[in-house]
Amino acid sequence: MSQAKSGYGAGAKILSVGIASTGLVTFAYFSVASHALNDPEAYARISLLWSVLFVIVSVIYRPIEQLLSRTIADRRARGFEANHPLRTPMLIQGAFALTFLAVALIFRDPIQNELFDGFAALYWVLVIAVLAYAASYFARGWLAGHQWFALYGGLVFIEATARLLFAVAVLVGIAEGQSVVAMGMAAAPFVSLVVVPLAFSRRPKESTSKKQDELGLARGGRFAVAVLAIMLAEQTLLNAGVIAADLTATDAAVTGYVFSALLIARAPLQLFQAVQGSLLPHLAGLEAKQGKAEFEKAIRITILAIAGFALAVALGLVLLGPFAMDLLFDDDKTFARFGLAAVALGMGFHLAAGTLNQAALARDHAGTAAIAWLLAAAVFLAWMFADVIDDELLRAEVGYLGAASLLCALLAVVYRRPASTSPPAA
């Protein structure tokens, strides 16, 4: 595969198509499920199950995806095409999965009875799906590190399609009930692994020479724990506003209003995963080859594109935001146009921070980056519960903009630091 085809720009385009298509298929899954179940309470439980599952796997498994992506790309840039160290990432991934399993079994009663209204099938779908995604996210990191982005996009698309078929089966009458719809979440990550044999057929032949730069458990563990902290902080930025509104608002409907407003940030952030997936291995390769100018050029181009996108969205929301929100959401709330624009600008800072975060990971500054994320998340939490602004929706909109801009500034400082002088995590 040529460098042009496997580089950052081409990879981002391929992954963007794959993840955008996946997003549409995922939307179709929930649309079909709502019609197939024809029961608002059952559909609410399916939505809750997906939300809980998505947060858990994003937090505990993306660290290994990022570790593998960086490690393999770095080694390939330095001429090591085979014998990549996989033992340490496997051990860490297994530890995360077993920790989840232990917690899920210990707290089975409250999860099953309070979260899922006593439906044991939903509890077991959550457990099986989380464990299955350990393999799926490991495969994603392995594919990203080799810059096989078409296979990466195929993996996530197959996963979403497999999940959709379970909802379709209920809709057409082949099966029935929320349990079958939910089972798609557990089956999908297993089905998606069909791309792995194809990827194995592409890998270079194993070398008989001794492995180079073996990844130690201590070093890999520090990286994974730092990224896990980053994932927790990011989920805090996305969800703390909704949770705080739910706990402090006297009107229960406010929680929904805050969630709807913050969807302006959620959708682009999900699509940006495609850019992140190709950016980290690209930057790791440039860093390994001492390509500082190209490294900074990739960051600069990405941030300029983000700035243009965020400003366009903010302007559009100033002009049409209240009308669009009234059209999209069935409620009586009239959203303030400048509050929506604040969320759009916050989304821009958040995306820019994500770009700078990938640069920090590529330069082996995961720990410092994690501190920046945790600080921004803590400030946002404090702001949401400080009751400085009486209107919970406006407080969340302003707080998100402030926390995201603070995060971006902190990561800009991290970005200016030179690369780690210790051997790269390969």
Higher per-residue pLDDT: 283 or 83: 283
Q: Kindly tell me if the per-residue pLDDT of 130 is higher than 80.
A: yes
Question: What average pLDDT is seen over the chain?
Answer: 81
Higher per-residue pLDDT: 284 or 127: 127
Q: What percent of the chain has pLDDT over 70?
A: 77
**pLDDT, position 88:** 85
Please report the DSSP string for 214-254 in residue order. Answer: PPPHHHHHHHHHHHHHHHHHHHHHHHHHHHHHHHH-SSTHH
Range among 5-9, 138-142, 407-411 with highest mean pLDDT value = 407-411
Q: How confident is the model at residue 4 (pLDDT cuts 50, 70, 90)?
A: very low
* Residue 125 contacts residue 183 (beta carbons within 8 Å): yes
**pLDDT, position 270:** 66
Q: How confident is the model at residue 38 (pLDDT cuts 50, 70, 90)?
A: confident
**Helix/strand number for the chain, H first, E second:** 15, 0
What is d(CA 314, CA 268) in angstroms, rounded to the nearest whole number? Answer: 13
**pLDDT, position 204:** 63
Of the listed ranges 60-74, 232-246, 249-263, 315-329, the least confidently predicted one is 249-263
Q: Kindly tell me if the per-residue pLDDT of 242 is higher than 80.
A: no
Higher per-residue pLDDT: 251 or 385: 385
Q: How confident is the model at residue 127 (pLDDT cuts 50, 70, 90)?
A: very high
**pLDDT, position 426:** 38
SS3 content of the chain, % helix, strand, coil (to 5): 80, 0, 20
Mean pLDDT confidence for 264-285: 69
Task: Say which residues have a Cβ less than 8 Å from residue 63's Cβ, sequence separation at least 6.
Answer: 92, 96, 223, 224, 225, 226, 227, 228, 231
Mean pLDDT confidence for 221-225: 85
**pLDDT, position 2:** 40
Task: Say which residues have a Cβ less than 8 Å from residue 83's Cβ, sequence separation at least 6.
Answer: 206, 207, 209, 211, 212
Calculate ∠ Cα 329-335-337, nearest 5°.
125
Range among 158-167, 276-285, 370-379 with highest mean pLDDT value = 370-379
Q: How confident is the model at residue 288 (pLDDT cuts 50, 70, 90)?
A: low
Q: What percent of the chain has pLDDT over 90?
A: 28
Mean pLDDT confidence for 147-174: 88
Q: Kindly tell me if the per-residue pLDDT of 199 is higher than 60.
A: yes
* CA-closest candidate to residue 129, choices 64, 27, 50: 50
Q: Kindly tell me if the per-residue pLDDT of 78 is higher than 50.
A: yes
Range among 261-265, 290-294, 308-312 with highest mean pLDDT value = 308-312
**pLDDT, position 238:** 83
